Structure formats: C-alpha cells, structure tokens
C-alpha cells in the first residue's frame, strides 16, 4: 500500500519548516522510527522519523523547500497486510 508521509507537528508554534536534508535514499527499506529527514525550524534542526515501515518510493519535496505542517513530504510503499 502506498502511504504519503506528512510533516508532523513539531511544536505548538511551528507551522512551517525548511527541508534541510534527506537521510534516506529512494529505494531504501525503512523501519518505523528510522530517521528520515532533517528539518530546520526557527529554533533548531530536528530529525523526523518515518512513521511506517516500507520502501521509500519518492521524495515529494526537495531540500531547501519550505513546507507547512501536514504537507505530504514523501511516499513509502508498505507491505500489504
């Protein structure tokens, strides 16, 4: 099943972040909780983990792109259950 991973809420006042660096390459098998991407808030850099296990299929945003909380950032193919 294809899952679109969305940018989670990172704090009460954070509404947008900068995608700084993808930590996983397209085609890599992810475990739930694996570090996925580094984002920059107005205060700190944060590693965002993958919420699901599966294969990273596609980035939906590029490094240096600003995105809002709740925006789909990548697609992961999860095992059918």
**The pLDDT value given to residue 4:** 97
Confidence of residue 81 (pLDDT cuts 50, 70, 90): low
Query: How far, in Å, are 28, 56, 73 from residue 25 at the CA level?
Result: 6, 7, 14
Count helices and strands in the chain by DSSP H and E runs: 0, 8
Q: What is the arrangement of strands in the sheet containing 66-68, beginning at the earlier edge strand? A: 45-49, 35-40, 16-22, 66-68
Mean predicted lDDT score pLDDT of the chain: 94
CATH number of 2-77: 2.40.50.100
The pLDDT tens digits of the residues spanning 21-55 come to 999 999 999 999 999 999 999 889 999 999 999 99
């Amino acid at each position: 099943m294809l899952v679109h991973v969305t940018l989670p809420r990172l704090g009460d006042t954070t509404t947008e972040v900068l995608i700084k660096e993808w930590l996983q390459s397209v085609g890599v098998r992810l475990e739930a909780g694996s570090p996925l991407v580094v984002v920059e808030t107005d205060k700190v850099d944060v590693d965002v983990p993958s919420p699901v296990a599966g294969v990273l299929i596609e980035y939906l945003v590029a490094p240096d792109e600003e995105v809002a909380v709740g925006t789909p950032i990548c697609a992961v193919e999860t095992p059918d259950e």
